[in-house]
């Protein structure tokens, strides 16, 4: 199969569909998808790696990480795994790369502690991470809620989320609501409903004089009947005491509490910025106990850079993401960065015009969306110009003739700070050559 051809789908006995084995018919795994002449290839979903034509046994043979906190990642089946400080968060979805975030919700799994409620709580239920830490919530009155007061920054957006599952009651239950409100009046924020029976979002809206970021509501299906849902917005300007509120409601878009059936709740979050320029959006769950907790940035770098990127003025990079989240406000998403000069190798950016700005930034033209989606991007460059393609689109050719170089080739996968990838990187390939526009267009066609 020729260079740049789309990756084939393999389904050999005893093998997960779509994941290449280390050797196919006597051929190294990186040859069939068209990476035979690359100097580095990482199939991060399939846990397969190559440098300089040699098969490598583990992700740590190619990459290093400096994240200084624990972190959680999910696999394709929707199960959670916890990763210790300094361990890359790789599952069969790929390598999770996120900027630093703080969960300000205390006791995120213990509704019988800092939370306020008159409802009946049953502890010890199995949570998405396999622990017995979920609570069954059954309201005893139509106005009951479960809530927590959280100090927040004035006039700043926040991302809220929760994990839910139909409860212990025989009939199960359909609707639940999550809200971020002004504590002083129980209003003036935003709210989102979720249907447990269908696994789909209901109404998402502002309330009073609060605000809701359009299209920010999200839901994902996890293992064993669990779901995670949430939204982004802020309480009214001038207020710094917010209320995170949970209700099992009788229907969509109502606040009336359901008194017959119950819902399992676990893993609540109220995320805020840690990096000053960060854009708030949904990141992975951060467990808290008695204090707010920061999950630090996944700062992942390519090892053996001096050899891999010896020619720092000519090359082609190909990246693939499992479910990149592109914020609707137009903020850039960096996929690769030159850490020696602090210039971006390229960005996921909605501005195709002036595709290369002379400061080592290439624009992608990807479609902006608050819904996570699979993407592929490729950058090819020499000392006289650069080309960029994304998701099989026609290559964007730089009009700048100063060319592209990245210092000593110190590559940071996933960018840096609040504008980094925020996704599961499932493919990274590097060639010590500028591939043609046709090749990079083909290589970014989604499989």
pLDDT tens digits, 198-242: 999 999 999 999 999 988 899 999 999 999 999 999 999 999 999
Same domain, 223 and 108: yes
Residue 13 lies in a domain: no
Give the span between the Cα atoms of 141 and 139, in whole angstroms.
6
Residue 14 lies in a domain: no
Same domain, 272 and 410: no
Residue 3 lies in a domain: no
Same domain, 288 and 159: yes
Contacts of 337 (CB under 8 A, 6+ apart): 343, 344, 345, 411, 412, 415, 416
Q: Give the CA distances from residue 290 to residues 74, 115, 132, 196, 412, in Å, rounded to whole numbers and listed in that order.
A: 25, 12, 19, 29, 34
Residue 406 has pLDDT above 70, yes or no: no
Same domain, 143 and 269: yes
Confidence at residue 159, expressed as pLDDT on a 0 to 100 scale: 94
Residue 327 lies in a domain: yes
Same domain, 238 and 111: yes
Residue 22: count of CB within 10 angstroms of its CB: 15
Mean pLDDT computed over 54-81: 94
Same domain, 31 and 136: no
Which of residues 349 and 326 earns the better pLDDT score? 326
293-326 pLDDT, tens digit per residue, is 999 989 898 888 878 888 778 889 999 998 876 6
Q: Which domain holds residue 374?
A: 23-74+86-98+299-443
134, 105, 142, 110: which is closest to 264 by C-alpha?
134
Domain count, the chain: 2
Residue 403 lies in a domain: yes
Q: Please state which of the ranges 152-156, 258-262, 291-295 shows the lowest mean pLDDT.
A: 152-156
Confidence at residue 127, expressed as pLDDT on a 0 to 100 scale: 97
Same domain, 310 and 348: yes
Same domain, 153 and 240: yes
Contacts of 428 (CB under 8 A, 6+ apart): 40, 41, 42, 44, 317, 318, 319, 320, 413
Confidence at residue 256, expressed as pLDDT on a 0 to 100 scale: 98
Give the span between the Cα atoms of 282 and 259, in whole angstroms.
31
Q: Which of 263, 295, 327 is the last residue of a domain?
A: 295
Mean pLDDT computed over 241-268: 97
Mean pLDDT computed over 271-299: 85
Residue 388 lies in a domain: yes
Q: Which of 247, 279, 295 is the last residue of a domain?
A: 295
Residue 149 lies in a domain: yes
Which of residues 387 and 171 earns the better pLDDT score? 387
Q: Give the CA distances from residue 343 to residues 279, 338, 360, in Å, rounded to whole numbers and listed in that order.
A: 19, 6, 6
Same domain, 263 and 132: yes
Q: Which of 295, 310, 329 is the last residue of a domain?
A: 295
Confidence at residue 90, expressed as pLDDT on a 0 to 100 scale: 97
Same domain, 312 and 366: yes
Task: Report the percentage of the chain scoring pLDDT > 70.
Answer: 80
CATH assignment at residue 309? 2.60.120.200
Same domain, 282 and 137: yes
Confidence at residue 275, expressed as pLDDT on a 0 to 100 scale: 65
Task: Report the percentage of the chain scoring pLDDT > 90.
Answer: 60
Q: Give the CA distances from residue 160 to residues 60, 153, 164, 193, 386, in Å, rounded to whole numbers and listed in that order.
A: 33, 14, 13, 12, 40
Q: Are 126 and 216 in contact (CB under 8 A)?
A: no
Same domain, 205 and 107: yes
Global confidence as pTM: 0.89
Confidence at residue 333, expressed as pLDDT on a 0 to 100 scale: 72
Q: What is the DSSP string of 253-315?
A: T--PBPSSS-EEEEEEEEEEESSTTPPP--------SSS-EEEPP--EEESSHHHHTSSTTSE
Q: Are 101 and 286 in contact (CB under 8 A)?
A: yes
Residue 202 lies in a domain: yes
């Amino acid at each position: 199969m020729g260079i740049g051809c789309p990756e084939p789908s393999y389904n050999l006995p005893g093998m997960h569909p779509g994941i290449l084995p280390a050797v196919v018919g006597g051929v190294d795994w990186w040859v069939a998808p068209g990476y035979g002449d690359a100097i580095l290839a990482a199939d991060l979903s399939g846990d397969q790696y190559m440098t300089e034509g040699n098969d490598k046994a583990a992700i740590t043979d190619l990459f290093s990480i400096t994240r200084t906190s624990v972190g959680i990642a999910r696999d394709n089946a929707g199960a959670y795994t916890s990763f210790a400080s300094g361990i890359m968060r790789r599952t069969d979805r790929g390598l999770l790369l996120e900027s630093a975030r703080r969960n300000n919700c205390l006791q995120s799994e213990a509704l019988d502690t800092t939370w306020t409620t008159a409802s009946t709580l049953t502890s010890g239920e199995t949570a998405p991470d396999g622990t017995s830490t979920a609570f069954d919530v059954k309201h005893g009155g139509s106005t009951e809620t479960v809530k927590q007061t959280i100090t927040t920054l004035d006039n700043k957006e926040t991302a809220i989320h929760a994990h839910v599952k139909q409860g212990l009651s025989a009939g199960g239950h359909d609707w639940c609501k999550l809200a971020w409100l002004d504590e002083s009046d129980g209003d003036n924020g935003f709210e989102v409903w979720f249907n447990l029976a269908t696994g789909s979002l209901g109404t998402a809206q502002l309330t009073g004089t609060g605000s809701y970021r359009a299209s920010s509501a999200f839901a994902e299906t996890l293992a064993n009947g669990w779901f995670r849902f949430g939204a982004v917005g802020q309480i009214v300007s001038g207020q710094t005491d917010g209320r995170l509120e949970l209700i099992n409601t009788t229907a969509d878009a109502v606040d009336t509490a359901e008194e017959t059936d119950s819902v399992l709740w676990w893993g609540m979050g109220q995320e805020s910025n840690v990096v000053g320029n960060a854009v708030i959006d949904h990141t992975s769950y951060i467990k808290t106990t008695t204090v707010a907790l920061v999950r630090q940035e996944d700062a992942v770098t390519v090892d053996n850079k001096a050899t891999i990127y010896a020619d720092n003025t000519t090359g082609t990079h190909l990246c693939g993401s499992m479910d990149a989240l592109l914020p609707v406000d137009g903020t850039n998403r960096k996929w690769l960065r030159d850490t020696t000069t602090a210039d971006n190798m390229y960005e996921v950016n909605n501005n195709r015009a002036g595709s290369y700005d002379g400061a080592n930034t290439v624009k992608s033209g990807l479609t902006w969306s608050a819904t996570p989606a699979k993407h592929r991007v490729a950058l090819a460059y020499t000392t006289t110009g650069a080309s960029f393609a994304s998701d099989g689109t026609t290559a964007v050719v730089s009009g700048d003739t100063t060319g592209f170089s990245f210092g000593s080739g110190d590559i940071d996968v996933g960018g840096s700070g609040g504008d980094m990838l925020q996704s599961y990187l499932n493919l990274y390939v590097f060639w010590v050559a500028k591939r043609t526009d046709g090749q990079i267009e083909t290589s970014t066609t989604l499989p």
